[in-house]
A and B are shown apart, each in its own frame.
Chain A
């Protein structure tokens, strides 16, 4: 193992390396590596070539996904795989997902609509019958060909046009629209700068009073909790907590998608003077979409709405019930509520961080059978409010990374209330797919070098990069967290100082 360490330490891309804590005496220890700062800095920045390649990559991937033989022509749920079960997400859940986002979209002006990344046409089928004009585009020629064939059988949708086009070419020469939909798409954008450019173009293409809806955004700060919950769900009972921690660490680094926190959109709206609502996904089901994704509605309003008075602050459900029964005018809010949909995942993440390395996954799962946290389900609050004909909306809270939310209650059933953007403190609000790609390639390349020089019996189990605070940590008013799990962050000082981690 010393020869592995020596080889890795001699690589100019590596600042420091050390053995990971022992998991099992029969299993070779992994090696934790701290990439060299200059290399890391250079690889963190995207470049035009990398951007083109990333777009080509997602185009290729979705041409592969949609090519499946015997695939039905027209809207369908191909490619929607549950990360926890690795099986297609149940049809009833997906149908609910479409209904929920369609409800949000139809509540906004929608005479002229433009959709970026229409996929197999799920939203076209749901929205287009209610629109005067619907322009859709997708990166995948296979998806567009399937949609064209389906539209040929739907003369009632003659006002729908579909083209094969990357997001950065959409809206260059087209007219203004009421509604621009970017649903479940931005995770495939190359980086944050690309997303910013797409939003900028969309803003220019909006009529006054129009909206941009960015749906199904994967929350950046919730990444460690999400990956930990998925890792635990897929781990065999006999695996140890130490091994599982390494699996989750590696899984976090293998992410290729762009993850974005709500603060990113608040910053965009601050620059443009519109209004914004970041909203939890609707629904009573507990899929990964209702737990880890959110929608953003950006309004090109002529002016920021002024609240008549400060909302009433409610502490708990008893407070809420009293407020509803009293039938008071105005609005009320409940702040920083623990989301019941995430109670088990929150407990799992905490437990995985502190469990002894030899504890089995079976024991962890047994401990979680009776979660220590319960939380409040947004759907329960909605049901209570609707009994009194009050509207409610749910938005990411200060501790969003831990799955906390704010609930706002209005005087009527008008659900969407655009607000002024909130101040954002952090400069790191998104993941960096270029950096993730560079780290994957670094690990593969180092592994190849070790394999060329060493016998397989002395090869480390894994090579696990650990990043410093500027790349891994983030904190802001919309939630604090980082994209690596807590145990991976804690190891960095030990790599650099050579001290043994204390767990």
Chain B
């Protein structure tokens, strides 16, 4: 199973493919080029890259990139455990 750091590295590449000023501490509200479409593209690219689908409950808690890292980590742990 991928570690938190592995997940962060992959996620950083995904964010860079969608945003030119990528950084893991970005927050949508304070990043001018980050709109809802960018947010969705990052979520979909992440789901494809890790082979997961985030649930409605996962989306409920997504506000920063760090939240996405946590959600992916949790989904991967569930897959690994099963």
> How far is it, in angstroms, between the C-alpha of A286 and the C-alpha of B47 when the chains are bound?
41
Give the Cβ gap from B63 to chain A, nearest Cβ, in Å. 10
Is B40 touching A60 in the complex (CB atoms < 8 A)?
yes
Question: Given A444-B19, A448-B16, does the pair A57, B56 have CB atoms closer than 8 Å?
Answer: no
Max chain A Cβ within 10 angstroms of own Cβ: one of B18, B39, B43, B56 = B56
> How far is it, in angstroms, between the C-alpha of A65 and the C-alpha of B82 when the chains are bound?
31
Give the Cβ gap from A68 to chain B, nearest Cβ, in Å. 10
Q: Which residues of A from 50 to 109 have beta carbons under 8 Å from B?
A: 53, 56-57, 60-61, 63-65, 67
> How far is it, in angstroms, between the C-alpha of A53 and the C-alpha of B60 when the chains are bound?
20
- The tally of CB-CB contacts under 8 A between chains A and B is 41
Give the Cβ gap from A267 to chain B, nearest Cβ, in Å. 29
A141 in contact (CB, < 8 A): yes
Q: Which residues of B from 10 to 60 have beta carbons under 8 Å from A?
A: 16-20, 36-37, 39-41, 43-44, 54, 56, 59-60
A447 in contact (CB, < 8 A): yes
B76 in contact (CB, < 8 A): no
Taking a contact as CB atoms closer than 8 A, the residue among A65, A141, A444 that contacts B56 in the complex is: A141
Question: Given A67-B60, A441-B17, does the pair A57, B41 have CB atoms closer than 8 Å?
Answer: yes
Taking a contact as CB atoms closer than 8 A, the residue among A60, A61, A451 that contacts B20 in the complex is: A451
Chain A residues with CB under 8 Å of B59's CB are 60, 63-64, 67
Is A256 touching B56 in the complex (CB atoms < 8 A)?
no
Q: Name the residue of chain B whose CB is nearest to the CB of A59.
A: B40
Chain B residues with CB under 8 Å of A53's CB are 44
A367 in contact (CB, < 8 A): no
Q: Which residues of A from 418 to 444 have beta carbons under 8 Å from B?
A: 441, 444
A303 in contact (CB, < 8 A): no
Sorting the interface of chain A by its residue count into under 10, 10 to 19, 20 to 34 or 35 or more gives 10 to 19
Question: Given A57-B40, A60-B40, A64-B39, does the pair A447, B20 have CB atoms closer than 8 Å?
Answer: yes
> How far is it, in angstroms, between the C-alpha of A61 and the C-alpha of B36 when the chains are bound?
7
> How far is it, in angstroms, between the C-alpha of A254 and the C-alpha of B35 when the chains are bound?
10
Sorting the interface of chain B by its residue count into under 10, 10 to 19, 20 to 34 or 35 or more gives 10 to 19
Is A256 touching B44 in the complex (CB atoms < 8 A)?
no
Is B56 touching A63 in the complex (CB atoms < 8 A)?
yes
Q: Name the residue of chain B whose CB is nearest to the CB of A446.
A: B20
Q: Which residues of B from 47 to 82 have beta carbons under 8 Å from A?
A: 54, 56, 59-60, 62
Give the Cβ gap from A213 to chain B, nearest Cβ, in Å. 27
Chain B residues with CB under 8 Å of A234's CB are none
Taking a contact as CB atoms closer than 8 A, the residue among B18, B20, B40 that contacts A64 in the complex is: B40
Q: Name the residue of chain A whose CB is nearest to the CB of B16.
A: A448
Q: Name the residue of chain B whose CB is nearest to the CB of A54.
A: B44
Chain B residues with CB under 8 Å of A448's CB are 16-17, 20
> How far is it, in angstroms, between the C-alpha of A301 and the C-alpha of B53 when the chains are bound?
44
Give the Cβ gap from B43 to chain A, nearest Cβ, in Å. 6
> How far is it, in angstroms, between the C-alpha of A57 and the C-alpha of B42 when the chains are bound?
10
Q: Which 8 A-B pairs have the closest CB atoms?
A: A447-B20, A57-B40, A61-B40, A67-B60, A60-B40, A63-B59, A256-B37, A141-B56
Binding site for B on A (CB under 8 A): 53, 56-57, 60-61, 63-65, 67, 141-142, 254, 256, 441, 444-445, 447-448, 451
Binding site for A on B (CB under 8 A): 16-20, 36-37, 39-41, 43-44, 54, 56, 59-60, 62
Given A67-B59, A448-B16, 19 further pairs, Cβ under 8 A: A53-B44, A56-B44, A57-B40, A57-B41, A57-B44, A60-B43, A63-B56, A64-B39, A64-B40, A65-B36, A67-B60, A141-B56, A142-B56, A254-B37, A445-B17, A447-B20, A448-B17, A448-B20, A451-B20
